Amino acid sequence: MERKDAPILGIESSCDETAAAILAPDGQILAELVLSQIADHAAFGGVVPEIAARAHLTALDAMVKDALRQAGVGFADLAAIAATAGPGLIGGLLVGTGYAKGAALAAGVPYLAINHLEAHALTARLPSLAAGPVEFPYLLLLLSGGHSQCLAVEGVGKYRLLGATLDDAVGEAFDKTAKLLGLPYPGGPALEALAREGNAKALPLPRPLLHREGCDFSFSGLKTAIAQLLAAEPSGALPRARAADIAASFQASVTDILGDRLNHALAMLPAANAVIVAGGVAANQAIRARLSEVAGEAGKLLIAPPLRLCTDNAVMVAWAAIEHLRQGDLSAFNAPCKPRWPLDSL
């Protein structure tokens, strides 16, 4: 039986974070837990799907029960149980959705299959993150290891794709460049830290699609330029100062590209009430600063989640479920996982 005054359990297992969170119907966070698998994948330089799925399977039950204890509720006290159903790695998605469906059936509460990208898109509306409600429509820049998209968010379940990457995602470009520089996994944060030591104007790197109409992205050419540059370096260990200049120049190129793409996106959605940046790359401080500058010049407020909610988490899954419950949306228990699930197809 649906209970709109009861809390929501959200589960996230789409990639390499196992997460559970419980939110009150007004968005108050009653419990949130995230278990990172960085140590499990570091030796391989990237996420290994089978290892990720097994880690989710090992950790999820204890994590959910710990969240319930923290919130002081049981399964039967919940209004619904939600889980990320895609996009993502199929093994992890099956673990999270299978657990959520089983728990919901046993407790007699509804189940919601949540789109991972939509969860990122709606995070900015979480009441505890903004001074006031972020009203539709708003502009979303979704920047992560798997996604680089610009979307018009016109309502819950209503998304219009304005632009996307033509090749690599921005987070993927960070990780691959970091690997070329010999930096540890995960590469993005390591490259950002190294870039602080370097000269961002040291190297004239390309800025693909700069000033081009629309707001599509391209990063593979930039990554290739870094690879060619490093291939021309003298043999032996790359001096740290040189590596720092390369990292800083790469980050400056990406920052310029994203700022330019945002300018074009703002022209495509002049009615936007705000600009939202979400996804793991939204944690990069240089990128945040540039996007904030561009948004401010257009008279728009840039809203970015706190760092802990930029990467994959279950708070955003539970909040997206609350948004859908308010519209009366529920999912069937036979709703499939979707490793590919474009946001504008909802």
> Per the annotation, where are the binding residues for Fe cation?
116, 120, 312
Distance CA 341, CA 251 (A): 29
User: 269: exposed, middle or buried (C-beta count within 10 Å: 0-12, 13-18, 19+)?
Assistant: buried
Copy the structure tokens of residue 192.
């950002």
H helices of 25-72, in order, are: 38-41, 49-71
User: Do the Cβ atoms of 85 and 304 come closer than 8 Å?
Assistant: no
Distance CA 334, CA 267 (A): 41
- 165 DSSP β-pair partners: 217
Q: In what order do the strands lie in the sheet with 80-86?
A: 29-36, 17-23, 8-12, 80-86, 111-115
E-only strand ranges, the chain = 8-12, 17-23, 29-36, 80-86, 111-115, 138-143, 148-155, 158-164, 275-278, 302-303
Residue ranges of the annotated binding site for substrate are 142-146, 175, 188, 192, 284
Residue ranges of the annotated binding site are 116, 120, 142-146, 175, 188, 192, 284, 312
Q: Count other Cβ atoms within 10 Å, centred on residue 19.
A: 30
Distance CA 28, CA 78 (A): 14
User: Do the Cβ atoms of 316 and 309 come closer than 8 Å?
Assistant: yes
| φ, ψ at 10 (rounded to 5°) | -115, 140
